[in-house]
Amino acid sequence: MKNLLSAAAIACLAGLPAHADPFIEALETAIEAYQDGDFQFAEDELAQAQRLLGEMKAQGLANFLPPAPEGWTREIDTEGGQMLGFMGGGTMAKAVYSGDAGRFELSLMADNPMVAQLGMMLGSSTMIAQMGGQVERINRVRFLREDQSLKAIVANRILVQAEGVDAELMIPLLEQIDFRAMENF
């Protein structure tokens, strides 16, 4: 009898969702609305699912932002990517690092048409030289080094940009990024 009750309890618990997933809930609601003929609500729920997926992607990209160096603070900007819709879409994560030596921003932007255009310029040492910049290699990635700015394209789709203080202060932070793993983002 005890085993029968345990089996019944396990069967009941197995039917319950462990954790509600807002993305899946939005998709399921969109399907239900579609099946009911409420196309506007279905479209709204699909937009909600897309927004949630974008947030998840942005969080995944934000995981590449290194922790603040000793004596510095890091503030992750969670709203910076919301304007990307006006710039052709994509995903963005950025952080502001502040310390006694100054303040700089590190941003990561993926899958945006602007990144593809910059990729043509930043992907060539000749183009970098023609733009008047220097090439700075950080973990096998070629960066355009300009006055208080470092820019690179990773995997032809992710812009890595650090700006605001002398490059020598930003390079150690950029050296912490796993660009190989970022290629698979």
Which tens digits make up the pLDDT trace of 55-105? 888 788 899 999 999 999 999 986 655 555 445 578 889 999 999 999 999
Domain count, the chain: 2
Is the domain of 108 the same as that of 155?
yes
Q: Contact at 8 Å (CB) between 155 and 182?
A: yes
In a domain, 61, yes or no: no
3-state secondary structure 3-44: HHHHHHHHHHHHCCCCCCCHHHHHHHHHHHHHHCCCHHHHHH
Q: What is the mean pLDDT of residues 110-131?
A: 73
Q: Which domain holds residue 27?
A: 2-56
**Mean predicted confidence (pLDDT) in 26-35:** 91
pLDDT exceeds cutoff 80 at 135: yes
The yes-or-no verdict on residue 52 having pLDDT over 70 is: yes
Residues 34 and 73 in one domain: no
- The per-residue pLDDT for 181 is 94
Domain shared by 50 and 70, yes or no: no
Tell me the CATH number at 145: 3.40.1000
**Same domain (yes/no): 74, 23:** no
**How confident is the model over 4-18, as pLDDT tens digits?**
334 433 444 444 455
pLDDT at 1: 42
